[in-house]
Amino acid sequence: MSGVAVLAADGFETIECLTVVDVLRRGGIHTALVSIMDTRDVVTSQQIPVTCDVTFDEVDFSEYDYVVLPGGLPGATNLRADERVCELVREFAATKHVAAICAAPFILAELGVLEGHKATCFPGFEAAFPAGSFAGDRTVVVDGNVITASGMGQALPFALAILNDIAGEVAVQKVKDGIQL
C-alpha cells in the first residue's frame, strides 16, 4: 500500500494540510504528518498548534510514494527555504508522486517540476510557472505524477484526487459516503 508524507512547516494552511491527512487516513492510506521544524510541534497560519506524527529527520521516505505540500503563508515559503524539502520534492517528482495546493505549487515551479505539466495554484503564484503550464484557477489538476489545487476551497477535492490516484474510485466513494458528500 502506498504511503503519503504530508509536510508541515510553521505557517501552513490548516484546512489544506489536515484535510489531506484526514481523507487519506479515512481511505486506509498510511499517511504521516511530517514536521520540517526542529520539533514535532508546528503552528498553522491561523495560530493553531498542531503536533505532527514525526519530524523530517525521523522519516524513512523510501516507505512513501507521495509527498504533499500544503499552502498557506509563510508555510509554503518555509517549505521552499528548506533544502531538504527541495531535494525530496525533486526526487519524488522524478521517481514517485508530488502534490501541492494553494501557494505551494510555486515550489514545484521553481524546482522545475512543472516543466511539461499542467498545474494550478492560488492566484498570483502562477507567475513562477513555466509558460503554458497554468491550467486555470478554482480547480484541481491531475497531470501524470503531479497533482495541484488552487486553494483552501479545493482542499477536499484535492485530497480525494490523491486518494483516487492511490486507491481508486471505490476508496473515494467509500470516503464520500462516510462524510456525506
Residue 16 cell numbers, joined: 489544506
The residue count for the chain:
181
Distance between alpha carbon 25 and the CA centroid of its chain, in Å? Answer: 15
* Residue 6, number of CB atoms within 10 A of its CB: 27
Closest by Cα among 6, 27, 9, 34 to 161: 27
> Which residues are part of the catalytic machinery?
102
Helices (H), the chain: 14-26, 75-81, 83-95, 105-110, 155-167, 169-178
